[in-house]
Amino acid sequence: MRLRKKSNLAPRLEKCSHLFIKNSEDYAAFISGGFSGRPDLRLELGCGKGKFTVETATQNPGIPFIAVEKNLSALIIASERAAERETGNVRFISGEIPQALSIFGDGEADIIYINFCDPWQKKRHADRRLTAPRLLKIYA
């Protein structure tokens, strides 16, 4: 089901801007601040409204979680959910997955979650799936 565009998107995003990773410096600051040693990094690709990420992060406060989503309306709901729960171990990246993953080094993510992604059922759209062979190579 398609998510309607949220009203007041810009001010709502600004209110949660501290939860967004925009570049590799933001990522490095997030990982180095508050996590001892080399923490197990967990990524959720296509997080939608963020329920899984926020719930899992709440249950594992010492583990950093980064969620990637390209739909801003869904992303604002996810970031507001994280801000409401005051989870200090969750950050979000807005954008397409291949570009978002360029922030990370090889083997940096310990676990990658892909839950209920868009199926892109038509054969001509197979390369858009989160489980497309070219993306699976990037994940590996």
Q: Which residues are catalytic?
A: 118
Reference 86, options 50, 57, 106, 52; nearest CA is 57
Distances 89 to 43, 100, 106, 131 between C-alpha atoms, Å: 12, 18, 21, 26
DSSP, collapsed to helix, strand or coil, labels residue 116 as coil
User: How far is it, in rounded angstroms, from Cα 118 to Cα 10?
Assistant: 25
Q: Which residue has the tokens 């997955």?
A: 97
